[in-house]
Structure 1
Amino acid sequence: MTVDEKEKVNANGVPLFKHTVTKLDADMDKEVIYEFGGPVGVCAMMLGFPCLMYYFWICLEYHQGKLITPQSYSIQGLQSFVYNGLIHKVITGAFPHWQAVKIYMGFVLYSAICAYSLPGPIVEGLGLPSLKGKKLKYCCNGLPFWYLTLALSAILHYTGVFRLTQIADNIGSIMSVAIIWGFTMTTLVYVIASVMGKRHRMSGNFFYDFFMGAVLNPRVGPVDLKMWAETRVPWPILFFISVSCALKQYETKGYISAPAAFMVLAHFLYVNSMQKAEECIITSWDIFYEKDGFMLIFWNMAGVPFTYCLSSIYILKYEQATGLTISHSLPYTIFLYTLLLVGYYIFDTGNAQKNRFRMEQNGSFMTRLAFPQLPWGHLKNPTFIRTEHGNLLLTSGWWGIARKPHYTADLMMSISWGLITGFGSFLPYFYFCFFVCVLTHRVSRDMERCAKKYGKDWDRYCERVPYIFIPYVF
């Protein structure tokens, strides 16, 4: 990197220079570190995730959200619980019938066609060490996809061609199709990448590599499968599950309760944020570093939409089983709506600040017309620490207050998803508990990598921004 390149800045005062791939970048990109307990741990997760999803579904579908346990822990009691209590209910209530296949795979195919064909700005990603600094191009057509999907869904529902309530009516079977597709797509991506010789950062252990993935950026024409799977499938499905539950309530009660409307709003905000700022996701860790394996594919295809929806399903199933509507006092309801909206504001603007700062360095910054464009989403004349490595560490905005403000915001929103349902079941709080574990792991993983990559500059950054989640607390 030359002196002239360092001195180049954009109109916002952010250095604009060519990022060269250093030997350290290349070495770290090739480094294999066993995570999640290594091969044994990932095998447990690949088997455990689907089982846990079915268990939660059974608790909601048949037991009003109560966590069921065997009546007896004898061999016969356990066999009866597993075969008669669990497996039988999955086979009879969650069989992947043709209607469920049409609903789920129809949307997957539709979203893929939209990603391939709709117009959108072309944005460059970060330079990839595995490609000697080459930047891949991404067609960011998430906004037209999202608006088109909202319009088509409304038309299909009100004309009766496809009533959105069918999603809630067939939720167990649709989930089964999603689980099957998650394993199928993972296998296809892994096999095709291996056949084409595009494997990257392999450990040599099949199960671990199947979980983490074999290929970094699988593509079909202009469509990056990793970005498509992360933005176009899980979150819209999650939103429509909540919409379906609310519409089901409206059909039976003649109104939509505050908790049901809350979940529709919460999931709309999340998916809308992702689509309107799709160009920012390109610089994220998942796109830049993570490979496309079971961890990302299954979780996006099945895990996100069918575990993050537990609050919405619980509200519906509780009402169907008891005839009672979950309601809260006005002050409590206002508090939760406020908690959700404040959390969303920090989440949206925090992610925007970070990724737009990265885009400015990358020379790919752009302004798009999308709703809502929240104030403080783009920092003017941001402060930063310049590292010897060449990267800039942002110390302005939310990122001058904490190192992971978007994680704090995520936790604020996720706890509100549980609190809006009351305290009758643990299941609406699973997302929050799960997220605490996931984000804690991500933080420790990120801190170790940054300390190794930036050395003394990382120490300077930690002194400047000492708190990770909450200022003066942690």
Structure 2
Amino acid sequence: MSAVSTAVNNGGELRQRKTIPEVTTTNEGRKADKLLDTHDTYEFGGPWGVTAMMVFFPMLMYYLWICLWFYDGQIVYPTSVDGIQPFLQQMWAHVRDDASPNLYAWKVYTGLIISQLAFAYVMPGYMQEGLPVPSLGYKTLIYNCNALLSVYSTIALAAMLHYYEIFRLTEIIDNYGHLMTVAMIYGFGVSFGTYFWTVARGEQMRMSGNFIYDVWMGAALNPRIGPVDLKMWAEVRIPWVIVFFLAVSGSCKQYETYGYVTPNMAFMVLATWFYLNACCKGEECIPQTWDMWGFMVIFWNFAGVPFTYVYSVVYMASHEPSEYRFSTPAYIALYMTLITAYYVWDTAMSQKSRFKMQTQGNFKYRWTFPQLPWGTIKNPEYIQTAHGNRLLVSGWWRYSRKPNYVADWVQSFTWGLVVGTASPIPYFYSVFFITVLVHRCGRDFERCGKKYGKDWDRYCEIVKYKFIPGVY
């Protein structure tokens, strides 16, 4: 690489380099990595906390869906002590009758799993080297990035099946509850199955000794089926494909019902396509960003993301367009906010991931649509740590430690804003998401403090704001 880079060494001064030298983990860094790969404290409230979340969150998913579909999108609750039992019986009746794991849901969801695994296994793709894995002796793994071809093949296949009335896309949203239950079953099954399989093979990592907590956090680090990396496969091929098709299904239902698609529903098709396409076109960046693979991630990818992020679609598919119609200026503002937030999110993710590839010496420009301006920093500034890694302080990352989180949250907020004040439930995504992001930042910053020590303090002096520049 010929770019001249400005580096901040671990003495603190700036110096010029004619290349970005490749990362070499120091002995000090190896010691820090070993400590980080050892369980030393409970997170998420420990065993009781994760047990509560594993039980409570599926119940919450059912409750919010019932409120959306059967109670005009409003929060319902018993108004007296005597009303609690009838209320719970009514809730259960909806789950039993309208969210049973019926044959349609099993066929559709299992078909998605099988087709996406098959596409991931056989489709040609872009071969990307991942980050060095400390638990594998700093070996790097190769990832076949074929999500782009796989997903658009899926879209083309679905369009053909819909056109010839073999598989009607409209039916997806009509079977939302049934599909959600099957997704939950898959989420629990894959989580516990992966845990037992990993332990049986003696490949478990960071075990605490508490069974339920270890299932939540995960025992596996890099699970694979042949050439298919399950973490990367589950990150894109399941949640975002479902999210997109739910939006498409809602559009089809509107068109068949009213003869047109509202700007609100079209907004959700665009927004979900933005996210799905971004994950596919930049799939080579994903191995730069993750860690363990347990219930927390598996259930969220299989059930949580696809069936809680698009509550606005569920609401619009079951209500008259007159209940959430906006003025033309409001539509323009909504679309522009989404596009701006997407641009910042896309380029921030690209800048960080490509910088990591540059430091590994394996960055190659991959042209996939759309490649946005400022997605790659030509002359990055960074802090050279005693660990051996480098901390980026250029581009969006000069102004905030998590600029991608800020833009990502703004996108999530627009997904609720698209229905205005018609229902509070579509805002669940953004409320839940900001809670997750704040907690995740605390975890990330704590780990970075342990990993980089005084270099992390120096980084925080340069990049002062955690989220919003000038605010927080």
TM over 0.5, yes or no? Answer: yes
- How many residues are treated as equivalent by the alignment? 455
Mean CA deviation greater in 256-265 or 360-369? 360-369
Counterpart secondary structure, 1:135: coil
Partner residue of 1:363 out of 361, 364, 377: 361
Alignment of 1:281-360 (within 5 A): 281-284=286-289, 286=290, 289=291, 291-319=292-320, 324=322, 326-360=324-358
Look up the match of 2:19.
13
The code of the aligned residue for 1:453 comes to K
Partner residue of 2:48 out of 34, 40, 53: 40
Is 1:82–2:83 an aligned residue pair?
no
Say if 1:468 and 1:127 are closer, same or farther in 2 by CA, change over 3 A.
Answer: same
**1:12 Cα offset (Å):** 8.1
Question: In structure 2, what is the Cα distance between the partners aligned to 1:263 and 1:121?
Answer: 29
Look up the match of 2:75.
67
Alignment of 1:42-441 (within 5 A): 42-74=50-82, 77-83=83-89, 85-284=90-289, 286=290, 289=291, 291-319=292-320, 324=322, 326-441=324-439
Counterpart secondary structure, 1:457: helix
Counterpart secondary structure, 1:448: helix
Question: In structure 1, what is the Cα distance between the partners aligned to 2:364 and 2:81?
Answer: 60
Question: In structure 2, what is the Cα distance between the partners aligned to 1:126 and 1:379?
Answer: 19
**1:454 Cα offset (Å):** 1.3
Question: In structure 2, what is the Cα distance between the partners aligned to 1:239 and 1:147?
Answer: 12
Look up the match of 1:4.
none
Mean CA deviation greater in 20-29 or 177-186? 20-29
**1:185 Cα offset (Å):** 0.9
TM-score (normalizing by structure 1) = 0.94
Unaligned runs of 5+ in 1: 1-6
1:13–1:382 CA contact under 8 A, matched in 2: no
Q: Deviations over 1:58-105 (max 9, x none)?
A: 11110111111014223xx2121112x111111111111101111111
The code of the aligned residue for 1:394 comes to L
Look up the match of 2:38.
30
TM-score (normalizing by structure 2) = 0.94
The code of the aligned residue for 1:367 comes to Y
Q: Deviations over 1:202-244 (max 9, x none)?
A: 0000110111111111111111111111111000100100110
**1:33 Cα offset (Å):** 2.4
The code of the aligned residue for 1:13 comes to T
Q: Deviations over 1:285-327 (max 9, x none)?
A: x2xx2x22110110000000000011111111222xxx73521
1:120–1:141 CA contact under 8 A, matched in 2: yes
Percent identity over paired residues: 51
Q: Deviations over 1:237-277 (max 9, x none)?
A: 00100110011001100111011000110000001000000
Q: Deviations over 1:148-180 (max 9, x none)?
A: 122112111112111111101111101111011
Counterpart secondary structure, 1:314: helix
Counterpart secondary structure, 1:282: helix
**1:453 Cα offset (Å):** 1.4
Question: In structure 2, what is the Cα distance between the partners aligned to 1:16 and 1:211?
Answer: 35
2:310–2:415 CA contact under 8 A, matched in 1: no
**1:377 Cα offset (Å):** 0.3
**1:447 Cα offset (Å):** 1.1
Question: In structure 2, what is the Cα distance between the partners aligned to 1:144 and 1:214?
Answer: 31
Counterpart secondary structure, 2:132: strand
The code of the aligned residue for 2:338 comes to L
1:19–1:127 CA contact under 8 A, matched in 2: no
Asked which structure has the greater RCO (Cα within 8 Å, sep 6+), the reply is 2
Say if 1:91 and 1:470 are closer, same or farther in 2 by CA, change over 3 A.
Answer: same
Question: In structure 2, what is the Cα distance between the partners aligned to 1:70 and 1:215?
Answer: 43
2:32–2:450 CA contact under 8 A, matched in 1: no
Question: In structure 1, what is the Cα distance between the partners aligned to 2:293 and 2:99?
Answer: 28
Mean CA deviation greater in 254-263 or 145-154? 145-154
1:398–1:405 CA contact under 8 A, matched in 2: yes
Look up the match of 2:446.
448
Question: In structure 2, what is the Cα distance between the partners aligned to 1:298 and 1:70?
Answer: 30
Q: Deviations over 1:22-68 (max 9, x none)?
A: 11111112234211100000000000111011001111110111111
Q: Deviations over 1:413-448 (max 9, x none)?
A: 111111110112111100000011000001111111
